[in-house]
């Protein structure tokens, strides 16, 4: 049985094909803010290799707002075309350098002066990403006994975090370890991105023409 995985929450995106307990192929690509321009060629290459597709798994973040949505949209398209199950898993369950660790924390810049913190224990998201101030994140980091990672290029200023990134092949491996009941439960839910906060909307600086006839 095949598992197709898509991970686009960071600039280092990937797609992978997992079959019967082993990795068949993985396609890596790099994109800053144009995942829609670079994802579909490697994804199409993997789709050609499909034999008996069991499910599709997509990374839901946290991470790039645009990248995550592009990945989910592509996963939905393939699931509809192949009439197969689609599940979403946090990208934090597929981080490189964390394999074999029973517990670790992840911290990142949530922009506009805030920082997010999450904890993974025994392969599960024990504490989902929480937004807070730098002081709040620093307090969590000080109290944490274990390794801390970040998907940002640089470590937060208040702790020593190892840079890493999520990968589709690890995401596929994680999905392969789920029970049939868990997969069915996840497949019954819509795949939603993990948003760190509400969308930041700004008003146009251009003047608005007011019609005298309005």
pLDDT digits (tens, 9 = 90+) for 32-48: 666 767 899 999 999 99
Q: How far apart are CA 33 and CA 40, in angstroms?
A: 14
Instruction: Let me know: does 24 contact 42? Beta carbons within 8 Å.
Output: no
What is the CATH architecture assignment of 2-94+165-187?
2-Layer Sandwich (3.30)
Please report, for residues 102, 199, 206, the alpha-carbon distance to residue 16 in angstroms, rounded to integers and kept in the order given: 24, 30, 45
pLDDT-above-70 percentage for the chain: 89
pTM for this predicted structure: 0.90
Task: Indicate the DSSP class of residue 11.
Answer: S
Q: How far apart are CA 205 and CA 54, in angstroms?
A: 49
Q: Return mean pLDDT, the chain.
A: 91
pLDDT digits (tens, 9 = 90+) for 198-212: 655 445 555 444 434
Select from 64, 48, 46, 34 the least CA-distant residue to 169: 46
- Asked if pLDDT for residue 66 goes beyond 70, the answer is yes
Select from 82, 81, 37, 85 the least CA-distant residue to 58: 85
pLDDT digits (tens, 9 = 90+) for 67-99: 999 999 999 999 999 999 999 999 999 999 998
Q: How far apart are CA 175 and CA 1, in angstroms?
A: 12
pLDDT digits (tens, 9 = 90+) for 166-186: 999 999 999 999 999 999 999
Averaged over 130-157, what is the pLDDT? 96
pLDDT at position 178: 95
The vertex-74 CA angle with 195 and 189, nearest 5°, equals: 55
pLDDT digits (tens, 9 = 90+) for 115-126: 999 999 999 999
Q: Which residues on adjacent β-strands are paired with residue 120? A: 104, 125
pLDDT at position 196: 80
pLDDT at position 37: 76
**Quick one: which H or E segment has residue 101?**
none
Strands 148-150 and 103-111: parallel
Q: How far apart are CA 6 and CA 18, in angstroms?
A: 11
């Amino acid at each position: 049985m095949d598992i197709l995985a898509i991970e686009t929450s960071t600039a280092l995106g990937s797609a992978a094909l997992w079959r019967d307990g082993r990795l068949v192929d993985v396609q890596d690509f790099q994109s800053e803010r144009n995942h829609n321009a670079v994802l579909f060629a490697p994804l199409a290459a993997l789709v050609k290799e499909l034999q008996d597709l069991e499910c599709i798994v997509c990374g839901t973040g946290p991470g790039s707002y645009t990248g995550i949505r592009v990945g989910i949209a592509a996963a939905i398209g393939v699931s509809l075309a192949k009439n197969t199950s689609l599940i979403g898993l946090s990208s934090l369950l597929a981080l490189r350098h964390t394999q074999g660790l029973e517990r670790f924390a992840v911290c990142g810049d949530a922009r506009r002066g805030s920082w997010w913190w999450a904890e993974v224990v025994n392969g599960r998201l024990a504490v989902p990403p929480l937004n807070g101030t730098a002081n709040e994140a620093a307090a969590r980091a000080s109290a944490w006994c274990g390794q801390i990672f970040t998907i940002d290029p640089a470590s937060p200023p208040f702790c020593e975090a190892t840079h890493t990134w999520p990968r589709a092949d690890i995401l596929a491996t994680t999905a392969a370890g789920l029970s049939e009941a868990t997969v069915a439960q996840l497949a019954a839910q819509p795949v939603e991105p993990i948003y760190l906060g509400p969308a930041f909307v700004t008003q146009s600086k251009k003047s608005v023409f007011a019609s005298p006839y309005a």
